[in-house]
Amino acid sequence: MSVELAVLLANTAATWFMCGVIWFVQLVHYPLFARYARDDFRATMLDHQRRTGRVVAGPMLVEFVTAVAVVVCVRDSPLPWIGVALVGVWVYCTALVQIPLHNQLTASGFDSETHTRLVHANWIRVVAWTARAALSGWLLAGGR
């Protein structure tokens, strides 16, 4: 197996995994926040953050590193640069929007306005990861 193929496989696997996770979070998990018990909401949110971090930290790191590696391996196309830009979108949105909203819900308890902002803002990550999944699949299939 060539280095390029190994990088593309790792990138596609991590991206598709995260695409599945983000759709699950958007359609199932985040909406359920509104149904969590209010008297135990803070503890539930802390548990959510800890458990979710265990699931997504590795794949997010693999996706980040391999997105950059794809730029190095696939030099005959501008598409890998679009992939890196989309990684930048989900990194930015995660670090500067989603995490602060999670922290606000954890610190203050459930607030419907904050919860709505969390769900709505997450669509940016859903779109970015879905576009990355399509792009990584295209590159893996030999599209340039």
The whole domain housing 71 covers 3-140
142 backbone dihedrals φ, ψ, rounded to 5° = 100, 5
What is the value of pTM for the model shown? 0.93
Determine contact, residues 125/86, Cβ cutoff 8 Å. Answer: no
- Tens-digit pLDDT profile for residues 86-138: 999 999 999 999 999 999 999 999 999 999 999 999 999 999 999 999 999 99
pLDDT band at 75 (very low <50, low <70, confident <90, very high): confident
Instruction: Give me the number of domains the chain comprises.
Output: 1
Query: Average pLDDT, whole number, for the chain?
Result: 96
Query: Which of 59, 36, 62, 58 has its CA nearest to residue 48?
Result: 36
pLDDT band at 26 (very low <50, low <70, confident <90, very high): very high
